[in-house]
Amino acid sequence: MTDQDQTQGIPVPEGAAGLIDTEYSIGQDNVEGQLGPFGFDVHNPVFMISGLSIVAFVFYALALPEQANAVFGWLRPWLTSTFDWFFLGAANVFVAFCLFLIVSPWGAVRLGGKEATPDYTYIGWFAMLFAAGMGIGLMFFGVLEPVYHMAISQPLGVPSPIAADGSIIPENVEAAKRMGLAATIYHWGLHPWAIYAVVALALALFTFNKGLPLTIRSAFYPIFGERIWGWVGHVIDTLAVFATLFGLATSLGFGAQQANAGLEHVFGLPNNVTVQVLLITVITGIALVSVLRGLDGGVKVLSEINMGIAALLLVFVLLAGPTMIIFADFFAGLGAYVGSILPLSNPIGRADTDYMHGWTAFYWAWWISWSPFVGMFIARVSRGRTVREFIICVLLIPSLVCVLWMAVFGGVAIDQVLTDPTGSAVKTYVIDSYVPELSLFAMLEGLPLSSITSVIGVVLVIVFFVTSSDSGSLVIDTITAGGKVDAPLPQRVFWCTFEGAVAIVLLIGGGLGALQAMVISTGLPFTLVLLLMCWAIFKGLLSEAR
């Protein structure tokens, strides 16, 4: 006799959508067992091929550093200049597709079935969205990019307000300020979030509504059918693991160098490999604790704390800086973004190729190479939202927050440069000599209480790395366990530690730059993958109850 209370379960997806009727049962290709005292449950062959190919590429980068640097150092700019039209065009498709879904009848489809309720509050959800995929970038580029685009890269040919002798050219100031903010917001607004939203929506739809495992290959069921359980799926999942782990490890390596530069600037700490290895060890250690505490007890809590501190820093800079000018910058930047988005998105006949290839196409490849990781993480925490709510919350609101962040941090920095061109530390580190890792601290120096805010800045940089590292480890673990979210705990420990170890080895032996360039190169095949995902989402939504 049983007494199963039906209200305890997750509501059944309703209507014609039903579940995809597949012969595949989750975990059927997994190998389960014990390695000494440690249990494991991994997908065969994705776990093994991912792990071995990562080790092989690390060896390649260490054994033949000059060749690796030459190959990947050439590959990245070649891709972003040759396939600029493809990256820019595809990103435009993603934005248009997301906006279409908001107004379409399929916006009413609920992820997880008609009766599903959200697993997380808005605050917890937003905190995890930012902390996983973009927080660290906002810290690094918030000051650097607006100033750089205003003064140096000249997007759409808008002239710099700073002459060669360092003097200000008054007639160029307003247009350059607006374009500096607009060109930055373009890289942190609708387009990157649309890239994440497409991947996240595809995975959430095919997992929560169609009943397929939470792994990248599932999104391709409408295209490849049962073949996704074979080598087509193995390749897609392996590529996702590969891009995610190297993306995280190389960012961690570079991040340690940046944090070390910040610590040297603020505290006078030595800037060397030993300190950087220590930083990676500390970051990995905290990420391990977070991973062991799990999604709710670790990742979510840390993300919320981090977003709280970031919001406080934002408010402080807003109030301590020229508040009214910042508000004016916010609206002027937003207006300029809206006004310039079409010409900035146009891949054809552009004269500002330094900006378009060096920044835009690079950024799109970067966001796309990160999208399997961030998208899958967003998918996992988005059950219970309607498609419309999902797109608005993943696309529009984060874009607005990024506009605000860039307007505040970039606006204050631009104001410092233009008000005091000879004494501005921002000008020294961004325009006169390119030391991007110090740009944030240089801006904070121009405000009161800089010794405190700089420490907060260093802490935020470190904790944002932790929140990327822990969520990335969860994602890699899920993919290499064939979509199982309840694989043994030691596997998470393995991936988190492996990521830190790869970062340390590449930091000591060299090869961070080469392998980061390689990760960004994976943006090209993934762009095609994302375009196919749009089609798969559309096909998947057609059979959903609205």
**Residues within the interface to another protein (CB under 8 A):** 1-6, 8-10, 12-13, 19, 25-28, 30, 36-38, 112, 119, 207-208, 211-214, 292-298, 380, 383, 483-490, 492
Complex with another protein: residue 298 or 372, whichever CB lies closer = 298
Complex with another protein: residue 298 or 500, whichever CB lies closer = 298
CB 197 within 8 A of CB 391: yes
Q: Nearest Cα to 376, choosing from 196, 116, 533?
A: 196
Rounded Cα–Cα distance for residues 462 and 466 (Å):
6
- Nearest distance in Å: CB 120, another protein: 9
Complex with another protein: residue 4 or 433, whichever CB lies closer = 4
- Nearest distance in Å: CB 131, another protein: 16
Complex with another protein: residue 115 or 420, whichever CB lies closer = 115
Task: Please give the helix or strand (H or E) that residue 39 lies within, else none.
Answer: strand 38-43
The tokens describing 407, both together, are: 């307007």
Complex with another protein: residue 73 or 490, whichever CB lies closer = 490
CB 202 within 8 A of CB 536: yes
Rounded Cα–Cα distance for residues 278 and 283 (Å):
9
Complex with another protein: residue 17 or 344, whichever CB lies closer = 17
Rounded Cα–Cα distance for residues 495 and 477 (Å):
7
Complex with another protein: residue 107 or 124, whichever CB lies closer = 124
- Nearest distance in Å: CB 247, another protein: 23
- Nearest distance in Å: CB 125, another protein: 12
- What's the Rg (C-alpha) of the chain? 23
Place of tokens 């505490």: 293
- Nearest distance in Å: CB 52, another protein: 25
Q: Nearest Cα to 394, choosing from 409, 371, 378?
A: 378
Complex with another protein: residue 147 or 212, whichever CB lies closer = 212
Evaluate the omega torsion of the peptide bond into residue 45 and state whether it is cis, within 30 degrees of 0.
yes
- Nearest distance in Å: CB 384, another protein: 9
Rounded Cα–Cα distance for residues 185 and 158 (Å):
16
Rounded Cα–Cα distance for residues 327 and 41 (Å):
53
As a three-state string, the secondary structure of 338-372 is HHHHHHHHCCCCCCCHHHHHHHHHHHHHHHHHHHH
Complex with another protein: residue 2 or 433, whichever CB lies closer = 2
The tokens describing 357, both together, are: 């290839």
One-letter amino acid of 405: W
- Nearest distance in Å: CB 129, another protein: 16
Range list of β-strands (E), 207-257: none
Complex with another protein: residue 215 or 439, whichever CB lies closer = 215
Q: Nearest Cα to 330, choosing from 415, 271, 269, 457?
A: 415
- Nearest distance in Å: CB 10, another protein: 5
Complex with another protein: residue 117 or 274, whichever CB lies closer = 117
- Nearest distance in Å: CB 98, another protein: 24
HSE toward the beta carbon, residue 511, CA cutoff 13 A: 23
CB 314 within 8 A of CB 295: no
Q: Is 510 left (phi over 0), alpha (psi -120 to 50) or beta?
A: left
Rounded Cα–Cα distance for residues 84 and 104 (Å):
30
- Nearest distance in Å: CB 214, another protein: 5
Complex with another protein: residue 10 or 309, whichever CB lies closer = 10
- Nearest distance in Å: CB 256, another protein: 26
438: exposed, middle or buried (Cβ count in 10 Å: 0-12, 13-18, 19+): buried
CB 59 within 8 A of CB 502: no
- Nearest distance in Å: CB 27, another protein: 4
